[in-house]
Amino acid sequence: MRPPQWATRSGRRLDLDAFGTCFLNAWSRTESRFLKLECWQSYREREVTTSQAAYERGDIREAERLLRQESEAERSLYEDVERKGIDYARIRLVQEPLTPYLDYELVAYRIRVRIGENIEVVRCDPAMRLPDEDHFDFLIFDRHTALIHDYGEIGLQSGGWMTHDATVIAELEKRAIDLRRLAVPFEEFTAAV
């Protein structure tokens, strides 16, 4: 499911490398808020990460070791959040029963929470088809930039769109804030799983 046209029509289409570059540029300008919405219940990176491959073959201890290494690469981002006082939230929509991918993600999230990431979880009706027209993956950097992921129809990221359109960013921000009101902290979610 591609994001709806209203969210992408004013944006610039990016391949995966350009998407990463735009992330770094937008992050360097972020001063007060970063919101990340994740909706896909199953997802595959273009290149399978070694941690995901280890998890899929049942080597949980190795997957955890590799996930700790992967998360260390982002420690400077969490330090920026702390130093700048940025309102940072990963808002994760979850349907139960959890997919094998989300089981793997929970392992990663436990590690990331320990090093400072704020993860908030919204339980969704299992009958919903995620992503949908109202729920899709995006990132908001203050109110200056939004990156909207493109996972095609199968959950394989091929890039996305970047927009500076204030109307689009305001609508995305409203969606993220509305979902945050329904969210629980990651620790509270995992205590109930």
Q: SS3 letters for 92-103?
A: EEEECCCCHHHH
Spatial strand order in the sheet of 87-95: 12-15, 159-163, 145-150, 138-141, 33-38, 87-95, 119-124, 184-185
**Residue 76 pLDDT > 90, yes or no?**
no
Task: State whether residue 36 is helix, strand or coil.
Answer: strand
Residues β-bridged to residue 90 = 36, 119
- 178-190 residue pLDDT tens: 999 999 999 999 9
With b meaning 16 or more CB within 10 Å and e meaning fewer, what string describes 84-99?
Answer: eebebbbbbbbbeeee
- 39-49 residue pLDDT tens: 999 886 656 68
Looking at residue 127, its pLDDT comes to: 93
Cβ(39)–Cβ(137) below 8 Å: yes
Cα 117 to chain centroid distance, Å, stands at: 12
Looking at residue 46, its pLDDT comes to: 59
Cβ(12)–Cβ(161) below 8 Å: yes
Residue 41: both structure tokens together: 């219940």
Sequence length of the chain is 193
* Mean pLDDT, range 11-36, rounded to an integer: 95
**Residue 67 pLDDT > 90, yes or no?**
yes
Residue 130: both structure tokens together: 């995620």
Q: Which residue has the higher pLDDT, 155 or 102?
A: 102
* Mean pLDDT, range 62-85, rounded to an integer: 92
Residue 93: both structure tokens together: 């929509």
% of the chain surpassing 70 pLDDT: 97
Give the separation between CA 180 and CA 22, rounded to whole angstroms: 25
Looking at residue 190, its pLDDT comes to: 95
Looking at residue 193, its pLDDT comes to: 77
Model-level pTM? 0.94
- 107-162 residue pLDDT tens: 999 999 999 899 999 999 999 999 999 999 999 999 999 999 998 777 778 889 99
